[in-house]
Structure 1
Amino acid sequence: MTDERSRKLMKRLIERSIHEINELATQTGLTKRQLEYSLEKINELLALETEAKLVIENNRIILTNQLREHFIAILSDKTYAKGYLMNAFERSKYLYLLLFYYADEYLSINHFIEELGVGKTTIVNDLKNLTVELESKNIQLVYTRKDGYRLSGNEEHIRYHLMKMIILDSTENNTVFIYDQFIQKHHIEIVEATKQLIEEYTTQYGLSFVENRLIEFLYTFIFLKKRLLTTTTVFYDKFQLNALIAMKEYQFSKSILAQSGIEDESAYLYLCAWILGLSVGRPNDSTKDYETILELVKRIILRFEAISGIRFNNQELVVRQLYAHLRPAYYRLYFKLPIVNPLHNRIKDEYHELFNIVEETLKPIASLFEHPIPEDEVAFLTMHFASLCSNFDEYTTSQKVALIVCPNGIGSSSIVYTELKSLFPELSFLGPVETNEIERLSDSYDLIFSTVPNIRLFYTKKPVYIVSPIMNTQEKYRLISDVYTQIGNFNFKLPSVGKIMEIIQRHTAVLEGSALEKELYEYLINQDEPSQLDDGGPSLFEITAPELIQLNIPAKNWEEAIRFSAASLLKEGRITRNYIDTIIETAKKEGPYMVISKHVALPHARPIDGVEQLGMSISVLKQPILFGSKENDPVKYIFCLAATENNRHLNAMAELVNLLDDPQFYSLLDTCQDPYEVYQYLTQKKRSLVENN
């Protein structure tokens, strides 16, 4: 018998060939004793098929290719669940599947005991836990002698909970084998046959799913079909959009439901809305909603450029990438469909400045949906903008070619590609591609980077490196060491940060150990120009100065206001006169793009238009002036930005975004007479922020 701990440990082991025990314990969240126990359970499992086993030597584990292939096979094998001991959390999910699928049948505690093979006390506790969990989702688990156990509540909420479970388990938890066990045990249908049917219709109707979204749809559809026939359609009102009927997603839904004997208009519309929230948007398709989505994409790009101070050179590339994500995101938000981003917290931590800017960018868009945009969705868009903001300079390549495999979609793929190019400039990269393309490219690459462990990767007999789409500094450091040790210079070895820390601590007192350790990792990675996405760059007070702050400026019109606000930057040699002229000409062509919020303008142009040094001027007009923005006129506060090529200003922009919600800041700008007071306020704000963190 194996359990969740053993499974988690196997997943972690396959990522590298050598693991330090202490580090492995930290990564898995297990104590050393729990870790050793789980290793014993894994060795018992291995003993059934091979003489190889895991051995701890010198406080570390060395994983052979043979063992890695065994672990990948175990984790990929759907029959693995038959010998799997579920924990309480997993049993609760299984109970929900029973209650969801058999909504029209009598279910008792005895049914649950027989199904899960545990005692009555365990089931009673599991039902209590499930009841508490469901109540937080506005779903009730009720029992009557006549009807047994049933789910009660809004049918939309009941389906939403199933969808979210499956999304989490197919991405973050990688535990779809529990659903496979249920499907096989209850003879529902053959998963592979349903997958083939879905793929046949997606081809017929020209739809496109990201690999992981297809898995989500596959399992949810299998469990949902029966319920579409037997449950109420009261909540379908919001899906009654005439525009849906004209879409190919509607025809797809109608065709695939007909295969299951479902002929119901409400079911067609519900499934159509769901498909729209999953499939990839293709800007070349002449869909009914094309103009609507394109306009939304352009609004987001324009507002992001205005707030971030970045002007994208390749607008077509930006539009295409964001359209592919925004179309499904639009329908997820409109229909309130579940969205799970397993990288949400890591994105927010690693790219916190950019996340704040994207969140601010989306605020006006949220009004379209009458509810805030979830942070998971903000995080997805942050990944897109992170990849678009990076410099894609081509490097001279060597003979080594790396294939990037990523089944998680454009955002993850783009950021992985950007990160790996930065870490390994001497490699040539193919992809990103989905898993099913690796055989077609078999002779084209020397090594593989993948965001998901999959046994098919290891059958290629090429070196495989499992990476997170969002890597922290320590993970980047470890990856560099692994890659160069295996395929680069065999004598190459990065110094141990742990050993360096031990030496330092023996000879001196370390006040901020974690900060020192992080800085050592960053130094040893030795990136020539760290991206703003890893290091936020200078603060707002560091890119401005008292001599760049002007108060009570008289101006006759918007053009004069911009020229006055940029004058201090010109005087200090941070910009050329051409930079100011370009801002004016751009505003005449594109309109008041620089007006980013109520009474606030952020004039800026591209670095190549005349930026000599990073800087920002702060100007307060004596009298507010109309810039031509219907929503945010008149403008009184002008922040003129001069940004350099490496986008190192994003940290300062994130701070500015926060200041724009600070009434005290505006009050100071309106009343003070000394620019130095404003500058001091910015430095104090930054100091208090650092102290609070």
Structure 2
Amino acid sequence: MKDRTIQIFKRFIWSDYSLTLDELSEDFQVSNRTIRNEIKEINAFLISHKLSEIKTIRNRGMVLTLEQSERKQLEIVIDEKNEFDYLSREERIFDLILAFSLSEHPVFLYQKESEYQISKSTMDEDMRRVRNTLLAYGIEVLSIPKQGIVLKGSERTIRTMIYDVINQSIDSLRFLDEKEAGLSVSEKHLFRYIPKKVLKKIDHVYHQTISSREDIYRNQLVMFTAVWLSRYLRQELIPSSDWEVWDTEQNQRRLSFVHQLCRTLAVRPPVSELNYILFMLETFDTGSISNSVEWVQAQLLSIQLIQFVEQTTQIPFSKKEESLHEGLYRHMAGLISRVKSEIQILNPLKETVKRYYGNIYFAIETFAPTIEAITKHELSEDEIAFLTIHFSTSVSAINQELQYTYKAVVVCNHGTATGRLLAEHLKELFSIEIVAVLSTGEMELIKKLDVDLIFSTLSLTYPDKPILVVDPIIKVESRKNIQEFLERNRQFKRLVNNDNDSTELFYKVLDLIKESGGTISSDIYQQLETTFDQNHLKINKRELQPMLKDVLKKSDILLLEKCPDWESAIRRVARPLLKENCINESYVKAMIASVNEFGPYIVMGKHLALAHARPEDGVNRLGISVATLAEPVVFGNEANDPVKIIFCLAAVDSFSHLNIMKSLIELINDETKINRLVRCSNVSDFEAILYEEC
């Protein structure tokens, strides 16, 4: 007895109610005819054990009547007969896609139909869904005699699709776990096409050559490498490429990884394949704060981009800033590397993204010149679409937490009661806030009211605002007209303030503590957060990250320092952080070494530099210092030299310093303020100018 039959059997055994064919067909995603055949097999089994059959009750469905003791006994017997893992439709689709793209042998549908033990009509529906899934990537599914099912599309796209489909179906945090018990059905089928021992070998080589650190990105890199290897072994090859492998420490490690992997598995890919996988590994690797020399630049661009897109689209992305910034900045680091190297990457979802998230895509396209000023090359539509995807994933989460409304007035001459009736109907059926109910004689009041739309029970004109004439009682056919009217005027949609957000109250409490002479320590922060949580007061905890004025102490501010060159300027601005043990001497050496190796990338804006290195180069805790220079210093950045003010940032992670970065972005964009700061001769004046609000 196959697994699906057993699962249906168990439904009948433990159900106290009748079951219908349609219900079972929907639950098990097979046809009614298949369910009937399963029930025939179950009844044959029941008869052989001298038990009551499943009976059909007219107009109610089917039922199996058993004693409690019979139920328990049957449960034991059928569990012993379970010989087959029945696949759900989602699991079958996952297996089909892997089979078509990774199987070493031709795949024919009649074989899969038999393997899954499903009907032809069920297989036809599965294939329809497979085709729709792959079409979104621009991949066609062809059935060729003697060759079976073949995928038609760009090889780069097919590899991206395979990796994406696996990521959607497999827990990337646990697929390398030692334990075999508890594997999901999808994981079992994945290991049919990419054996676990191969994944283990790739992971072992990664551990030896690149990093011993355990994280989700390592697992994803291992999986992508496995996809590359599987497609190469099928002789599905990337066309020749001019990609160049840069001679950097990180690339040397990746090159060592690939070469050792090829030796371990006894394969010899062509140069085009080696360059492809090295580039793809770089796009995974540069996303970490600890391994990209341009991580600060990537963070600055990400912050600026979030602010710009939010301002342009009026979508409050800052409400999801933590998750959005993390993903966006990691992607931005890889993007900078790709575009600088003039390497194009295909985005198979580009047209879909442009169609469904056009407003976000347009905003990013408008911001693109800011990124291009750093990369020195134009962003492709594919890259803009990738950036759009990061924002689009936040949209649904934001929409679930936000409410929008239209502000309107009702104009009615049929009496106050009739006008109020219309107002209540509009509020009930649509997201409309009715500010007032007026007569035609009171329409002058509209100018004094904060409203955007007018609903009227009589025909009239008003030049300044859109008007819709409606009946006092909204009929079904009128609802469509109102919805279309709102859609035409969606630019007037307003965000409803979230009264449950108590972040501002949190800040006021902190201010009261400061004013009363108290000290705001990390313990106070934690205790106050806990108190708010216990009283169900919602706060945006990411807004509670320290501000620039919370971290930059008076002793961290150095004024009118005399430094003969950029190296001495870095050493001088780092002294306060060394003295406070925020950083070690190794961090200072790393900052200087990075500029020597990669050039004046730390000059972030006109006359301003932000000295920094990687956190593991010697950072003990978050800190920042600043020095103004008595004589401007040339760093070698033609656009922004000479440097008049230099900051030194010691970051410990990818988020705790973001409010500091936001303050620096404001300063970078304010050359007048920079010139005022460099003229200061005492710390108090410097602080007053630095922290003043525009």
The TM-score normalised by the length of structure 1 is 0.38
Instruction: Pick 1 or 2: higher relative contact order, CA cutoff 8 A, min separation 6.
Output: 1
Greater gyration radius: 2
